[in-house]
């Protein structure tokens, strides 16, 4: 009888152990933390980010999945907290994907959308109505970010 209890305990322990590590392995996916390096300045709603490395992640603001926060490379400075809208892509890739609008030569490309690797649902950045209309008329390009160590690079 003690052997049966011991086996039952071991099976329960193994199941609990596996479930714990399964949840831990996907913990980062909930905030979709992604490091992106831009080789040129890029416009986001309300400001221009200089060329450099940034962390994009979903904010945990009352469980809304429509708020993206942008931090510097070591996450010590918050540059922006931005509302986004859901946008769909035709196919998922294993890499980060960003959509950029090419503006007139004196302005940097504008970040239009961001897709987390493996996802067909992304985050479209919301600009003021007049600027959004202009961006929709600008030439847009989809950039599949290329991994460079453990970050992704985008930009021209």
Alpha helices in the chain (DSSP H): 2-25, 129-137
Would the pTM of this model clear 0.75, i.e. be above it?
no
Domain residue spans of the chain: 1-27, 31-154
* Alpha carbons 110 and 153: distance in angstroms, whole number: 16
Dig out the tokens for 87 from the structure.
Answer: 């946008």
pLDDT at 50 over 50: yes
Res 147 pLDDT > 80 = no
Q: Percent of the chain, pLDDT > 90?
A: 48
Q: What pLDDT shows up at residue 156?
A: 44
In whole angstroms, give the CA distance from residue 60 to residue 122.
16
């Amino acid at each position: 009888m003690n052997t049966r209890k011991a086996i039952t305990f071991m099976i329960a322990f193994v199941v609990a152990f596996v479930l714990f590590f399964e949840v831990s392995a996907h913990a980062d996916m909930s905030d979709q933390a992604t490091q992106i390096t831009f080789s040129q300045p890029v416009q986001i709603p309300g400001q221009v980010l200089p060329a450099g490395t940034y962390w994009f992640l979903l904010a945990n603001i009352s469980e809304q999945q429509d708020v993206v926060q942008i931090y510097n490379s070591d996450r010590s400075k918050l540059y922006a907290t931005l509302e986004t809208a859901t946008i769909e892509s035709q196919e998922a890739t294993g890499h980060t994907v960003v959509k950029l609008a090419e503006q007139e030569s004196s302005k940097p490309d504008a970040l239009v959308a961001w897709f987390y690797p493996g996802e067909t649902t992304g985050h479209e950045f919301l600009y003021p109505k007049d600027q959004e209309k202009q961006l929709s008329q600008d030439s847009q390009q989809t950039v599949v970010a290329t991994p460079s160590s453990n970050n992704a690079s985008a930009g021209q």
